Structure 1
Amino acid sequence: MEFPEMSIFEIQNMTSQALDYSYYSEEPGGEEPCNLDPNPMEIIAQTYIHSIICALGLIGNTLVIITYIRYKKSKTMTDVYLYNVAVADLIFVVALPFLIYNEQHGWLMGSVACKMLRSAYSINLYSGMLLLACVSGDRYVAIVQARKSFGARPRTLLYSRLICSAVWAFAVALTVPTLLYSERSEDPQATCQLSFKETGTAKLMKVAVPSLQMAIGFLLPLLVMMFCYTSIVCTLLRARSSQRHKAIRVVMAVVAVFVVCHLPYNATLLNHTLSLFKVRTCASEKIRLRVLAVSKSVAYFHCCLNPVLYAFVGVKFRTHFQQIILDLWCFSKKHTSTARSSRATSDTCISGRVSSDGSNNMRSFSA
Structure 2
Amino acid sequence: MMETTANASDTNYDYSEFNKPCEKHILFEFGALFTAVLNSCIFVAALIGNTLVLWIVAKYENLSSITNIFIVNLSITDLVFSSVLPFWAAYHWFGWIYGEPLCKVMSAIFSVGFYSGIISLTSMTIYRYVVVVHPHSALRTRKPWKGVVVCLIIWLTSLLMAIPAVIFSEVHPDNDGFLKCDYADATWEVFSTYQQNLLFLISFAIITFCYVCILRTLLPSRPQRNQKTVKLILTIVVVFFLSWAPYNILMFLKSIDHLQTDCKISGHLDYAMYICEKVAFSHCCLNPVLYALVGIKFRRHLKQMFYRPCIFKEQSSNMRVNSQDNLHHEDFSLY
TM surpasses 0.5? yes
Q: How high is the sequence identity, in percent, across the aligned residues?
A: 26
CA shift, 1:238, in A, is 1.4
- Equivalent-residue separation in structure 1 for 2:189 and 2:106 (angstroms): 19
CA shift, 1:54, in A, is 1.5
- Where 1:34 maps in the other structure, the secondary structure is coil
Cα pair 1:4 1:278 within 8 Å, conserved: no
Partner of 1:308: 289
CA shift, 1:42, in A, is 4.4
Cα pair 1:85 1:131 within 8 Å, conserved: yes
CA shift, 1:241, in A, is 5.5
- Where 1:210 maps in the other structure, the secondary structure is helix
Q: Pick the aligned partner of 1:204 from 187, 190, 193.
A: 187
- Where 1:359 maps in the other structure, the secondary structure is helix
Deviates more, 1:226-235 or 1:68-77: 68-77
- Where 1:28 maps in the other structure, the secondary structure is helix
TM-score (norm 1): 0.79
- Equivalent-residue separation in structure 1 for 2:311 and 2:17 (angstroms): 81
Q: Pick the aligned partner of 1:281 from 237, 245, 262.
A: 262
- Where 1:228 maps in the other structure, the secondary structure is helix
CA shift, 1:291, in A, is 1.1
Gaps of 5+ in 1: 6-25, 196-201, 327-347
The residue type paired with residue 16 of structure 2 is: P
- Equivalent-residue separation in structure 1 for 2:87 and 2:189 (angstroms): 23
Taking the TM superposition and a 5 Å limit, the aligned residue runs for 1:211-230 are 211-216=194-199, 218-230=200-212
Partner of 1:160: 147
Counting matched residue pairs gives 316
Partner of 2:247: 265
- Equivalent-residue separation in structure 2 for 1:29 and 1:41 (angstroms): 26
Residues 1:320 and 2:307 are matched in the alignment? no
- Equivalent-residue separation in structure 1 for 2:157 and 2:254 (angstroms): 26
Change over 3 Å in CA distance of 1:312–1:75 after alignment to 2: farther
- Where 1:33 maps in the other structure, the secondary structure is coil
Q: Pick the aligned partner of 2:312 from 328, 345, 352.
A: 352
Q: Pick the aligned partner of 1:95 from 69, 84, 87.
A: 84
Cα pair 1:183 1:192 within 8 Å, conserved: yes
- Where 1:238 maps in the other structure, the secondary structure is coil
CA shift, 1:139, in A, is 0.7
TM-score (norm 2): 0.86
Cα pair 1:319 1:359 within 8 Å, conserved: no
Partner of 2:164: 177
Taking the TM superposition and a 5 Å limit, the aligned residue runs for 1:185-196 are 185-186=172-173, 188-195=177-184
The residue type paired with residue 238 of structure 2 is: A
The residue type paired with residue 45 of structure 1 is: F
- Equivalent-residue separation in structure 1 for 2:147 and 2:56 (angstroms): 19
Residues 1:366 and 2:334 are matched in the alignment? yes
The residue type paired with residue 178 of structure 1 is: A
CA deviation string 1:186-208 (max 9, x = no partner): 5523321222xxxxxx3431321
Partner of 1:72: 61
Q: Pick the aligned partner of 1:132 from 112, 121, 131.
A: 121
Cα pair 1:60 1:307 within 8 Å, conserved: yes
Q: Could you say what the CA RMSD is over the residues aligned between the two structures, in angstroms?
A: 2.4
